[in-house]
């Protein structure tokens, strides 16, 4: 006999589903409304924005704001557009994500399958690093970058994000690798595989979900970062987030160009959206894989 909860769901199933879907649709519309306004505003001309309705569709449809934001938008005294700063962000985000994810995977592998004396202390210190506000790293990092000659450079910004991200990727990978049976590693050792061979041929092939979690997490954090970018770079070395801020707060004509600002904001956000679309299906699987061992 069905229990009260199950029986209640059976009797009120269609109504319950209708209410749930209705709430979900309303929530989706609520959260997508700002994106809708941004998108249609970016395709409007300034007169349409000034005299039209906020939610009205652009008529005529114009891509001038996108062209201006990408190629001709002024950021301070520089009028080269966002394209230069877009590639700046690509240049340091991609290696920083790759290095921090790789080192995090290796650390998690060592801390779970090749434990050594003091490994728990090391993990505790790395875990503690995730709770330290990144503002506290600004002065020490600036000092170190100056000493090694990487201040005001994309290479220095890559190093900063790599070092700061390792604590998070290590935490993710360690919790995931705990769920992998130790017998797999022991069997590889019996077959003659060493540290690197075991990691490459046994651990990595089954690490796709957690690696995708690390990639999405790190890419989002690094690409959207503003503070490190504005502190550790200047001028033509700025990332796109800093350039977008300059674009929004600067106008050579004194007229607020909302269409250009919206186009620039969407251009800045597109890469993270693409990453979520491509790798998002692995995200929840990777996060929940390490929740329970066994």
**Residue 259 CA from chain centroid, whole number:** 25
Under 8 Å between Cβ of 181 and 112 = no
What angle separates helix 258-279 from helix 240-248, to the nearest 10 degrees?
150
Alpha carbon dihedral 133, 136, 142, 148, in 10-degree steps, equals -80
What six digits make up the tokens of 210?
Answer: 């957690």
- Give the model's pLDDT for residue 136: 86
> pLDDT value at position 20?
92
pLDDT of residue 137: 84
What pLDDT does residue 285 have?
Answer: 67
User: What is the per-residue pLDDT for 254?
Assistant: 64
Contacts by 163-166, CB closer than 8 A, 24 or more apart: 164/134, 164/137, 164/228, 165/96, 165/97, 165/100, 165/104, 165/218, 165/221, 165/222, 166/100, 166/103, 166/104, 166/107, 166/126
112, 185 in Cβ contact below 8 A? Answer: no
Domains of the chain: 4-65 (no CATH), 83-289 (1.10.3720.10)
Point out the residues of the chain with pLDDT beneath 70. Answer: 1-12, 72-80, 250-254, 283-294
Residue 251: predicted pLDDT = 60
Tokens of 11: 């009797």
Phi and psi dihedrals of 75, rounded to 5?
A: -120, 95
């Amino acid at each position: 006999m069905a229990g009260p909860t199950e029986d209640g769901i059976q009797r009120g199933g269609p109504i319950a589903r209708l209410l749930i879907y209705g709430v979900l649709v309303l929530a989706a519309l609520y959260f997508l409304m700002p994106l809708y306004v941004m998108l249609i505003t970016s395709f409007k001309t300034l007169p349409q924005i000034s005299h039209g309705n906020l939610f009205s569709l652009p008529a005529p449809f114009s891509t001038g704001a996108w062209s201006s934001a990408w190629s001709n938008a002024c950021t301070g005294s520089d009028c080269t557009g966002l394209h230069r700063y877009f590639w700046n962000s690509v240049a340091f985000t991609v290696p920083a994500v790759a290095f921090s994810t790789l080192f995090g995977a290796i650390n998690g592998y060592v801390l779970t399958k090749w434990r050594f004396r003091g490994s728990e202390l090391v993990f505790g210190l790395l875990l503690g690093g995730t709770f330290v506000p990144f503002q506290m790293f600004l002065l020490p990092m600036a000092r170190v970058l100056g000493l090694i000659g990487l201040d005001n450079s994309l290479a220095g910004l890559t190093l900063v994000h790599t070092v700061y991200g390792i604590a998070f990727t290590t935490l993710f990978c360690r919790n995931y690798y705990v769920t992998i049976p130790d017998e797999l590693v022991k069997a590889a050792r019996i077959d003659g595989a060493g540290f690197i061979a075991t990691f490459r041929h046994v651990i990595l092939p089954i690490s796709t979900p957690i690696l995708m979690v690390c990639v999405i997490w790190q890419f989002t954090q690094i690409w959207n970062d503003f503070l490190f970018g504005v502190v550790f770079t200047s001028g033509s070395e700025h990332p796109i987030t800093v350039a977008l801020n300059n674009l929004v707060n600067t106008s050579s004509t004194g007229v607020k160009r909302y269409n250009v600002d919206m186009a620039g904001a969407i251009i800045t956000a597109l890469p993270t959206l693409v990453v979520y679309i491509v790798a998002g299906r692995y995200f929840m699987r990777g996060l929940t894989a390490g929740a329970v061992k066994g």
